[in-house]
Structure 1
């Protein structure tokens, strides 16, 4: 029980107040019109990710159920990744995840160039070497 409390305290200290004041879905639509993904308006924790969190778990905690593109909180989020490198970028709602590979919108370009994983300075491969994601050369 002490280990769980220590980890919860570490996560709370890491996140601090970063989830507060995030744009709503409506506000995220305005950001999108300006070419900005929702996550670029979110505060990033000052401290490094706690060592007990995997990169994907860190993204889940930091994103708090909100899509990195549109801030929607409906349904579950899916893990978005770069199909060229296999690196996880962030968590998106199903609609944004389906749109992302085909969109040339400035907000999606900004998301791809600075996704949540880059913002949090975490890196994790999606899938396995058998999926073709065994290396990260660019």
Structure 2
């Protein structure tokens, strides 16, 4: 199962490409979209792929739906990465075993994007860097 958690950033426009890559490899895919991600998603492309999009919080008392992440592609500018919660969040993800993937190179993530570069980075992103490196089961 591949779960693509998508937030409001330019890479969300291309989430259907990641979903298509995983589906082509024979794996079920679900997209979990934050409220900010909704306008960025290509809902028609995801529907054609028969990929469900979860965009609502689970009701209290229901089971959690998401596994611990294997890979995370931090798509954040320097100004947003300056928030005090950002380093703590990255530390928790790493401690949970997530691999942080640099959206520019596919290598280990080590610094935020330059402001204004998001569209170009998203257009050049190779979903195989995140999807292909995972234990697709």
TM-score (norm 2): 0.24
Higher relative strand content: 2
